[in-house]
Amino acid sequence: MPTRGFLVPALALLVAAAGWGSTVVVAKSAFDAISPVNLVVSRLVLTGLVLLVAFQRYLRMPSPTAKRGAALGLVFGSGLMLQTVGLEHTPPSLSGFVTASYVVFTALIAAFWFRQRQPVTVWMAVVLTLIGISILAAGHGRPDLGFGFGTVLTLAGAVLFALHIVLLGRWVRPDNVKQLTLAQSLAGAAAALAIAPFSGWSLPQEPTLWWQILYLGIFCGAVTLFLQSWAQSHVPATPSAVIMCTEPVFAAAFAIGFGMESFTVFILVGGSLVVTALLLTAWPRKQGRRLEALLEELRHRAQTGRSR
């Protein structure tokens, strides 16, 4: 891909990753005034309204595009709900790193669902991710937090985000990106409105909360959803995954920068392991096969040595 054609979509993904990273900090700070479920409802409805106004001319779309967009919207909305509810029980930096494990789950979904053989680097990444999450949890004074209620919900959300990325990569094209983005947002808004009566949702009253919802709904919702869809129609899978690996770094930086957490050796070590795992997952297949061959050769030599 030419550098000029790659640079702008890559920057778009980087901006989206920064937006996703800031989400955990902004959402966490809003929980004093609104429940996680109602925050997601407000965010999804606002995202749908913004994109409806921006892309209303694309309401008429082919039926397959509408169905695929609706499926993507429901998957993404469900992942967002699990992540946000889990965030109530999870520190922001830990939530950011756990959520970013969708990069690893993306490779696993490709392996088990689409029967695509994965290099040994993917399985190494799974182990590193689990170790990194445990270290991050221990740094917050609760060794069990790594696999507690909040993190289990966040991991489930990460699986859905991974499924969203896989399906989006298969369905999005430069000529249908606006229609698919609109269909996703409308499906998410419709699902949110369907559960609103059961969650006691009402319009926010506090001005500060309005600013938080506007930021989450417009920038972290409408803008990043479009940027991701558009960029994935131009950027190959491997560099996309590498750029997405910056999300937990942004999450930790925002959490520390806004005084919600302190920078500790646990964040440094655990976060480094998770980012390493994400980069291993994004490693080109050719390099992964070389590493796999090298490890196989080392195992063979070890077995030969023992037999002697």
**Per-residue pLDDT tens digits for 252-298:** 888 888 888 888 888 888 888 888 877 776 665 554 455 445 445 54
Taking the complete model, does pTM exceed 0.85, yes or no? no
Residue 303 has pLDDT above 70, yes or no: no
CB neighbour list of residue 28: distance below 8 Å, 6 or more residues apart = 87, 92, 95, 260
CA gap 12, 87 in Å, rounded: 26
Closest CA to 52 of 184, 234, 205, 182: 182
Q: How far apart are the first and last CA of the chain?
A: 51
Confidence of residue 2 (pLDDT cuts 50, 70, 90): very low
SS3 199: helix
**Could you give the maximum distance between any two Cα atoms of the chain, in Å?**
77
Using one digit for the tens of pLDDT, what is the confidence trace for 19-53?
988 998 999 899 888 999 999 999 999 999 999 99
User: 182: number of CA atoms within 13 Å, CB side?
Assistant: 18
Give the residue, 271 or 59, on which the prediction is more confident.
59
Between 50-64, 87-101, 226-240, the lowest mean confidence (pLDDT) is in 226-240
Pick left, alpha or beta for residue 200 (phi over 0 → left; psi -120 to 50 → alpha; otherwise beta). left
Q: Tokens 């919802």, residue?
A: 213
Give the residue, 111 or 149, on which the prediction is more confident.
149
pLDDT score recorded for residue 146? 45
| Angle at alpha carbon of residue 83, lines to 46 and 131, rounded to 5° | 150
CA gap 20, 224 in Å, rounded: 8
Under DSSP, the state recorded for 56 is: G
CB neighbour list of residue 52: distance below 8 Å, 6 or more residues apart = 59, 182, 185, 186
Residue 75 has pLDDT above 70, yes or no: yes
Tokens at residue 265, please?
Answer: 């050796």
Residue 140 has pLDDT above 70, yes or no: no
Amino acid symbol at 5: G
SS3 233: coil
pLDDT score recorded for residue 306? 43
Using one digit for the tens of pLDDT, what is the confidence trace for 107-127?
788 777 766 666 677 778 778
CB neighbour list of residue 287: distance below 8 Å, 6 or more residues apart = 121
Could you tell me if 243 and 283 are in contact, meaning their C-beta atoms sit under 8 angstroms apart? Answer: no
Tokens at residue 53, please?
Answer: 């106004």
Using one digit for the tens of pLDDT, what is the confidence trace for 172-226?
888 888 999 999 999 999 999 999 998 888 877 788 899 999 999 999 989 998 8
Q: Tokens 């040595």, residue?
A: 305
pLDDT score recorded for residue 186? 96
Could you tell me if 279 and 239 are in contact, meaning their C-beta atoms sit under 8 angstroms apart? Answer: no
